[in-house]
Structure 1
Amino acid sequence: MHYRREDLEPAARADEQYLTIEEVAARYKVKSGTIHRWRREGNFPKARQVGPGSVRWRLSDLLEHEGQLKACFAMHGPLPMDAEDE
């Protein structure tokens, strides 16, 4: 498969961090297969194509997603991990 330059993620800002699938899985304490499933289901931030056969997640996208999850649970109940602290 050939990639056109415009199909790839533009050069990142100097302060932007990109994470691999392994780093993302470690962040959420799940296996990489879970990240792939969340991605297929549309319940996770979009991965960015950074090269042929290479995708990464922007840390800023993950942080935004986490903020939305916290806002949702704030309105509908505690996060499962917060319930253990009670």
Structure 2
Amino acid sequence: MNPIIALLKEHNISDEQIKEVFQALTENPLMAMATVQQLAIPPEKLQQLMGLVMQNPNLIKEAVNELGLDYAKVEEAKAQLNK
């Protein structure tokens, strides 16, 4: 299991909520951050999660694929942010 998904499940985040986070990520990365903040994950765990992603950004792609979402949408959203 992807470490991002595992950490979210460790904090009793439902599969539906996890999919919502990654769906938001594929549509609007800024919205995804707001969605993550609403999950009530302790700040130190959230920081750990962000560190994990910073060290290995490919984990996002793996999680998106594991959830059956379209990673190309993440790339499109990223391109929009960079404009």
Report the TM-score, using the length of structure 1 for normalisation. 0.28
Larger radius of gyration: 1
RCO higher in structure (CA 8 A, sep ≥6): 2
Where is the helix percentage greater, Structure 1 or Structure 2? Answer: 2
Which structure shows the higher strand fraction? Answer: 1
TM-score, normalised relative to structure 2: 0.29
